[in-house]
Each structure stands twice: as structure tokens, then as C-alpha cells.
């Protein structure tokens, strides 16, 4: 009997293909939107976690001024906060909790090799930067201690810069011009892809920090320091030691605010993931509203269908169908319709999410739980919005129904 009811529902749906499709379109769009939102949201969360994890656990970041999300505004009441220098880096390196310190200076540069040129970011740093970032050299070698100490004009290329300047050929040993500085390519970094905000992490060149300071920037400032802690140290200990050291070095009196900030990367990760979750939830709930609208669309068409098929209902009642069986017939039809919509929506949503993931260069992270939930929810939409029309069908008077033209 149940099988007959389902078959009957499919027959009725197939009979009016176009109408059925338009009826479920609302549910399709709703489910697709929810699935796409959640899948892309989860992908970008995974991306944030992965990129923070790639920094290694127990990594601190030391920046001038107070910590804030977003671009540094500089200035403020106290004017430009004081910069760091390489002596700070050396002092931090000897702290008991610290494994490595990578001081960084960045500057926008134009690089030229033969006829090719590219605008990119020049990173001045040390070999420890690669350890802190869990990043490796794909071709060639990293900086030697002598090159770092002397500020030799050598550089490592990110994959994007390498592609721009040399295509697929081996650039190791070639010379490029960084602004006006002639610089030897000693290696190429492995590709890292897009970062948490979709930025290209391979669009850079790495040079010894002294080279950048002396030959490109013209001062001895250090913009920020990335500090890897020893495995035995907790990040709280690390933050404590670094803060105390910097306060001492800068002679900041007790009760006065820090003019630098030490942040735990794991903290940033949890903040980013939190923002991500809120955004995903918000967008999904907007999408869920269209599911509701889709349900109302199904109810509307089912009501029309009951009116059109009044005579059929009369015939069924006359040959011995009970009101319950008629109710079930129309309810199953509504549920089958909305489930079809749900399945189409899931397929469309996953497709959209796949395209979106590729475009945003984030991992495609479909979730079985979300798909199951969307499926269940579309069944629920069918039951809730199919019940009223079905009840109307079941309550028809057989005599009236048979007389209906």
C-alpha cells in the first residue's frame, strides 16, 4: 500500500513535469543556498585552521602598538609606536621559552629579469623564518649565516614570482633586479596557495633582513617578529617572557601600557574561526528563509492540485478509499515533491560550493551531516506544508466530489 502511494505520487509529479519543477524550485534554491553557504563556510574555517597550523603550534607574533584586527592605523594618541630592531630579536632569542625568532621587514618592490617584471613584496628576514613558518625551499638553498650577517644581495622566490619572471625554467643562479639592486636567485620556495583571506602567499621574494634594511629601506627597523616557542613552553609563558623583556628594554614603567603587542597565533585562529561561524550561520539562516518560501509554494500548488483532482478524489472515495488513505496520498505527494527539491538542491548546492571553493582557493569540505539535515528538513517542509492541502482533500464529501466538473 505504501509502495502504491509512493508510485502514485511519482506518477502525479511526472504527469506535470514543468509544474512540479516550478513548484519545487523554491525548495531547490533554499536547500542549494544553505548547502553552498555551509560548505563554503566550513571550507574557509578549515583553511584558517590549516594556515594557522602551518605556522606551527606555539607561535607568537610581536608587533608595534596595540593589537587590533585589521590594518594597522599607526599614529594614535602617542604618535607612531616605536619600531623594533635586530638587537630586540637577539635579546628575545636567548629567552628560555623561545626556540627561534624571525624578524621581518617588508617593502613593495618591482622585480625585473630580462624582459619580464613583476610587482611583489620583498620580505627581509632570516633563515629561521622558514622554520617558524614550516616552509621549505623547493629548488636551490636557503640563506647561509654569512649571507645573513653580511647582507649579501641574494633572494629566494615565491612560486608566483618565479612563474612571472622565469615561467617553468630553473631560475637558481640567475640574477634579477630588485628595484635597482642586482640580486642573485639562490632558491625557490614551495607553493603555499591562498591564505586565510584569499591572499596569494606565494607572491613574494625573501631576502636576508640586513640586505633589505640597508639596500632597499635604508634604515635598521624591524617591523615585526615571529617567535617560535620551545615545545616545553606554554604560550602563556612565552607571552609573559617576551612582554617582560620588551618592557625592560623599553623601560616602560609599572602601570604604563605596552607600546607593543604579543599575540598568540592560536588566539587569532580562534577569533577568525569564530567570525567565520557567525557569518556562515547568518547567511545560512537567510537562505533558510527561502526554504520556508519554497514550502509555501508547495502548499499553494498542492491546494490547486486538490481542487483540480476533486473528481478523482470522489472516485477513490467511492471505490472504498478511506479519508486517511486520501490524506496519505496527497501528503506523500507533497513530501516526494519536496524531497525531490531537496535532492536537486543538495546537488546544486554542492556544485556551487565546489565552484566557490575553487574560485576562493579554499578546501572543498562537504559535510554529510549538513546534507542529511537538508534532506530531513526538506522532508519536514513537505509534511508541514502538504498537510493542510491533504486534509482538505481527505475531508471532501464523496457525493459533492463526484459531481464536481
Partner 1 sequence: MAEPLIRFRDVARVYGTGEAEVRALAGVSLTIERGEFVAIMGASGSGKSTAMNIIGCLDRPTAGEYLFQGVPVQGLDADQRALLRRHTLGFVFQGFNLLARSTALENVELPLIYKGLPRAQRVALARSALNKVGLSGRENSDPSQLSGGQQQRVAIARALAGNPRVILADEPTGNLDSRRSHEILKLLQALNRDEGITIVMVTHEEDIAAYAGRRIVFADGQLVDDPVKEARP
> Which residues of this chain interact with partner 1, rule CB under 8 A?
1, 4, 15, 311-312, 314-325, 398-399, 402
Shortest distance (Å) from residue 327 CB to partner 1:
12
The greatest distance separating any two alpha carbons of the chain, rounded to the nearest whole angstrom, comes to 102
Point out which residues pair with 314 in neighbouring strands.
Answer: none
Give min distance, CB of 197 to partner 1, in A: 57
Query: What is the C-alpha to C-alpha distance for residues 78 and 64, in angstroms, rounded to an integer?
Result: 12
> How many whole angstroms separate alpha carbon 377 and alpha carbon 349?
15
Nearest-approach distance from CB 405 to partner 1, in angstroms: 9
Nearer to partner 1 by Cβ, of 4 and 145: the residue is: 4
CB-count exposure of residue 371 (10 Å: 0-12, 13-18, 19+): buried
Query: Cα–Cα distance between 388 and 303 in angstroms, integer?
Result: 8
Residue 318 makes CB contacts below 8 A (sequence gap 6+) with 398, 402
Q: Which is nearer to partner 1, 41 or 314 (CB)?
A: 314
Nearer to partner 1, 286 or 318 (CB): 318
Report the distance separating Cα 63 and Cα 242, nearest Å: 12
For partner 1, the closer CB: 323 or 379: 323
What is the C-alpha to C-alpha distance for residues 106 and 204, in angstroms, rounded to an integer? 10
Q: Residue 92 or residue 396: which is nearer to partner 1 going by CB?
A: 396
CB 344, min distance to partner 1, A: 25
- Least spacing, CB of residue 315 vs partner 1, in Å: 5
C-alpha to C-alpha distances, 212 to 21, 141, 154, 181, 252, nearest whole angstrom: 63, 19, 10, 10, 30
Which CB sits closer to partner 1, 109 or 326?
326
Q: How far is the CB of 21 from partner 1 (least distance, A)?
A: 19
Closer CB to partner 1, 328 or 374, in the complex: 328
**373 with 289: CB under 8 angstroms?**
no
Minimal distance, residue 332 CB to partner 1, in Å: 14
**Cα–Cα distance, 175 to 171 (Å, whole number):** 8
Amino acid at each position: 500500500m505504501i509502495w502504491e502511494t509512493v508510485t502514485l505520487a511519482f506518477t502525479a509529479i511526472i504527469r506535470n513535469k514543468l509544474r512540479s519543477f516550478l513548484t519545487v524550485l523554491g525548495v531547490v534554491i533554499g536547500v542549494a543556498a544553505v548547502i553552498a553557504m555551509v560548505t563554503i563556510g566550513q571550507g574557509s574555517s578549515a583553511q584558517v585552521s590549516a594556515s594557522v597550523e602551518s605556522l606551527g603550534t606555539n607561535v607568537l607574533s610581536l608587533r608595534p602598538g596595540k593589537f587590533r584586527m585589521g590594518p594597522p592605523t599607526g599614529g594614535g594618541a602617542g604618535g607612531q609606536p616605536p619600531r623594533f630592531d635586530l638587537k630586540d630579536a637577539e635579546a628575545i632569542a636567548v629567552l628560555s621559552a623561545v626556540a627561534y625568532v624571525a624578524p621581518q621587514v617588508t617593502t613593495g618592490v618591482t622585480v625585473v629579469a630580462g624582459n619580464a617584471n613583476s610587482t611583489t613584496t620583498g620580505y627581509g628576514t632570516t633563515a629561521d623564518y622558514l622554520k617558524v613558518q614550516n616552509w621549505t625551499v623547493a629548488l636551490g638553498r636557503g640563506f647561509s649565516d654569512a649571507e645573513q650577517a653580511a647582507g649579501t644581495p641574494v633572494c629566494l622566490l615565491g612560486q608566483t614570482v618565479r612563474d612571472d619572471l622565469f615561467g617553468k625554467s630553473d631560475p637558481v643562479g640567475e640574477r634579477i633586479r630588485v628595484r635597482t639592486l642586482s640580486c642573485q636567485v639562490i632558491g625557490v620556495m614551495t607553493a603555499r596557495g591562498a591564505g586565510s583571506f584569499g591572499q596569494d602567499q606565494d607572491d613574494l621574494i625573501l631576502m636576508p633582513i640586513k640586505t633589505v634594511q640597508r639596500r632597499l629601506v635604508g634604515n635598521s627597523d624591524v617591523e615585526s617578529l615571529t617567535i617560535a616557542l620551545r615545545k616545553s613552553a606554554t604560550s602563556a609563558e612565552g607571552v609573559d617572557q617576551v612582554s617582560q623583556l620588551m618592557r625592560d628594554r623599553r623601560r616602560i614603567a609599572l602601570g604604563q601600557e605596552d607600546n607593543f603587542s604579543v599575540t598568540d597565533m592560536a588566539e587569532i585562529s580562534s577569533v577568525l574561526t569564530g567570525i567565520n561561524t557567525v557569518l556562515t550561520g547568518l547567511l545560512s539562516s537567510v537562505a533558510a528563509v527561502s526554504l520556508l518560501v519554497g514550502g509555501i509554494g508547495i502548499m499553494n500548488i498542492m491546494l490547486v492540485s486538490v481542487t483540480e483532482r476533486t473528481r478523482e478524489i470522489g472516485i477513490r472515495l467511492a471505490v472504498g478509499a478511506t479519508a486517511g488513505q486520501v490524506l496519505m496520498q496527497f501528503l506523500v505527494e507533497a513530501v516526494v515533491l519536496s524531497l525531490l527539491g531537496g535532492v536537486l538542491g543538495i546537488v546544486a548546492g554542492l556544485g556551487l560550493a565546489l565552484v566557490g571553493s575553487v574560485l576562493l582557493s579554499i578546501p572543498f569540505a562537504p559535510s554529510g551531516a549538513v546534507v542529511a539535515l537538508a534532506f530531513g528538513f526538506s522532508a519536514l517542509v513537505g509534511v508541514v506544508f502538504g498537510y493542510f492541502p491533504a486534509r482538505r482533500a481527505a475531508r471532501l464529501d464523496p457525493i459533492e466530489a463526484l459531481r464536481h466538473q
